[in-house]
Structure 1
Amino acid sequence: MNEMKKYTVMELADLVGVPRTTINDWLSRYSQYIDFKMQGKRKIYVESSLTVLKEISGLRNSGLSSFDIEEELAKRHPVHAELAPPQPESKEEEAAEEKSHPEEYSLIVKKQTDEIAKMIAEHLQNMARRIENIESFNRREAAKTRRWYFMAVLFIAILSGLILAAGLKFEGYFRENLRLQQKNGAISSQLSVMENDLKKQSDDFRKALESLKENETKKEAEILRLRDQFAKEKLEMLKDVMKDLYPESIKDDVIKKFQQDEASKTTEYPVYDMMPDTPRP
């Protein structure tokens, strides 16, 4: 049977190509996915452990974070319960390894330093990128805020202008309406005065017309009375003249003819003919 191959932390660092401190960090961080055997107080790692560490290195080089790497490992490998806390190698063993491989140790130190510098540089770059993103976001938000503030001020100014214009227009309408009402009141007063004057004139004219009609009636009655009186006087004079000149039979005929002539004159010539100053209708 082939004996299972075993690796120390130093050997794993050499085979994976990363500093020993990085290997220790990975072994501690992802211990639930890495197989190991206990040899005394030390952990001895097997071929499957080397495979997982190489996989972690590849994921790390692809730019994944520790949380993303852990998610990928959880998808691909089962979780192993940790039987005992990892025991760090004794300082004597580390010193012995350093003395037995001085050149390798210098190379590892250099790699470790480069790795730390790279991690610090990446961390600083990430911080600078985040700060730049935050500043860019703040600038965008400030620009949006200024834009919204300007739009709000402009909207308020426009609204105030519209309200002012509407107020001035309403005031103009109100003044014009008041002026028209005052003018209508003055016209109504004038119309009322004119109406009263017309009514008074109408009453005066009606009274004058009634007085005129009354005077005309009186004049007509007086004319009729005078005409009748004149006719009676003429008849009496005719009787006196004819008393001695004509017999009774002829006298009656003449008197009757005289009365007919007077009656025909009254019909033919009305009262207006006897009133030279009165126009005929």
Structure 2
Amino acid sequence: MTKTLTRRTFLKVSAAGGALLVGGYVPGLRETSTAEAAGALEPNVWVKIGADDTITIMLSQLEMGQGVMTSMPMLLAEELDVDWNKIKTEWVPADPKYGNPNFGGAQLTAGSNSVRGMWRILRQAGGTARAMLVTAAAQSWNVEENTCSTEKGEVIHKTSGRRLRYGALVEKAAALPVPKTVSLKSPKEFRLLGQSLPRLDIPEKVNGKATFGIDVKRPGMLIARVVKCPVFGGKVESFNADKAKAVPGVRNVVQIGSGVAVVADNYWAASKGAQALEVKWNEGPLANLSS
């Protein structure tokens, strides 16, 4: 049954390993009772605040050069009021709870919908964590919450100037009930959003540590290179795979709908095999057209 996506996002909290974890969940994508979620410790968390003040923000949208590896954490960090230089990120697992509501809950990155889809969810997650930390600090000082403010990962008592690091508050905050509603910042209060911040994905792309799809290696994995007709709409008439199969590392050569695939142990062998492949093409009705 299709659920509506207009219901409010609710958040849950769980303490583990000296850290405060606040989870974001899009109701309507999957119904989960509070008791079940708490007992199962489902990995639908968006932020983890460590006792060492490390802030780990989960990424659900894929980085394809558009900057979401930075813009997504900015949404949460803005409401949490943390030092941008202490932010770390982790990719979420394949799980519908991390879906984009703009795509019916699918884990999909497309159509300029990352910020639009996750705007409320991530800000709410950050704001809820911040509210719980403020409550924990106010209780520690025996003061009213409205006399406290936050800045760069600390709760500040405005009257006395006392400060407490978020990391020092996580154990106490994790034992508090999760507020059902929290106030989010108005645009005029933004400190991070709207600013030009260093992109989080750049360092590893420069030093070579970044992992791309082509870098993934799985046990028994083979690589294929497809040879296609040079003319759009053309088809394979026949092919000779003898020379391609003679290339060390080539496992097989198979015809597929769009061409001929050379399957090998690695990309180099697949590429050399593709170069050695002899294909006769039926170039079709577009054969005499130039590009």
TM-score range, shorter-chain basis?
A: under 0.3
Q: Is the strand fraction higher in 1 or 2?
A: 2
Q: Is the helix fraction higher in 1 or 2?
A: 1
TM normalised by structure 2 equals 0.19
